[in-house]
């Protein structure tokens, strides 16, 4: 049985909803990251806003494991849709996670010697059940990660040809990589905020975009996962 669950998001809005629900909350700052320890549905939880990008995500994940004893990792937030099987507002639950901007043959020379990372079946199942109970349309699919916002058709098509993911974002593979390096189960949960194209770039980058509704979806699913563990 998992004793402590580590939860990450990339932006404050992605974790604020869950942080507000923690019981017996204690805040600690380690390595430039604020961690919130508490209980949620009777489970011990450590929650943090990792920050955007792979380096921030990897550092926060390692701290969750080594400094706070996390025995399972859940990353929730938003992502760009890469498939016609779902639309904006729907959710991707990871089965495989990979980098789209890395030399995988070199990265995989070190433990855990992988070019893609496999999410934990029990966590996937819990996330699917949480989606169903919340009435959120979802698929289980591959998540691709890179240190760039994907907001043009040419880049979208290049990534699709490379690894054909269900969605694209900036943190998941780093979280999965470090979780696998520590032999800790993980799952990535992403609510679609855009379609990884020019329209998405204009909306998310060119304008003041309200992500609260998408963050609410992701946080509700994460809370549902916690209930089931």
Catalytic residue among 95, 194, 197, 223: 194
Q: How many CB atoms lie within 10 A of CB 108?
A: 14
Q: Regarding predicted confidence, which is higher, 71 or 228?
A: 71
Report whether pLDDT(77) > 90.
no
Report whether pLDDT(25) > 90.
no
The CA-atom distances, in angstroms, between 13 and each of 20, 68, 91 are 11, 22, 17
pLDDT digits 0-9 by tens, 197-208 = 877 555 555 444
Quick check: pTM over 0.85? yes
Nearest Cα to Cα of residue 194 among 157, 163, 149, 140: 149
Domain ranges for the chain, please list them: 4-228
pLDDT digits 0-9 by tens, 100-127 = 999 999 999 999 999 999 999 999 999 9
* 210 given a catalytic annotation: no
**pLDDT at position 11:** 78
SS (H, E, C) 134-150: HCCCEEEEEEEECCCCC
Nearest Cα to Cα of residue 163 among 213, 211, 217, 95: 95
Quote the CATH superfamily of domain 4-228. Answer: Nucleoside phosphorylase domain (3.40.50.1580)
* 116 given a catalytic annotation: no
- What is the arithmetic mean of pLDDT over 39-46? 94
């Amino acid at each position: 049985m998992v004793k402590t669950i580590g939860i990450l998001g990339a932006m404050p809005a992605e974790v604020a909803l869950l942080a507000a629900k923690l019981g017996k909350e204690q805040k600690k700052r380690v390595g430039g990251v604020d961690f919130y320890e508490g209980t949620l549905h009777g489970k011990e939880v450590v929650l943090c806003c990792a920050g955007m990008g792979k380096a921030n995500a990897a550092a926060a994940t390692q701290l969750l494991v080594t400094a706070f004893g996390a025995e399972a990792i859940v990353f929730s937030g938003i992502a760009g849709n890469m498939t016609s099987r779902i639309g904006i507002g729907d959710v991707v639950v990871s089965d495989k996670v990979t980098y789209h901007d890395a030399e995988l043959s070199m990265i995989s020379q070190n433990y855990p010697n992988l070019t893609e990372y496999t999410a934990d079946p029990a966590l996937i199942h819990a996330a699917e059940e949480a989606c169903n109970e919340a009435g959120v349309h979802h698929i289980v699919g591959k998540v691709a990660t890179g240190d760039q916002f994907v907001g043009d058709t040419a880049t979208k098509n290049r990534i699709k040809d490379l690894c054909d993911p269900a969605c694209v974002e900036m943190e998941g593979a780093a979280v999965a990589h470090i979780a696998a390096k520590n032999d800790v189960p993980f799952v990535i949960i992403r609510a679609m905020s855009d379609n990884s194209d020019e329209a998405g770039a204009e909306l998310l980058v060119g304008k003041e975009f309200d992500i609260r509704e998408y963050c609410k979806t992701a946080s509700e699913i994460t809370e549902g996962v916690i209930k089931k563990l």
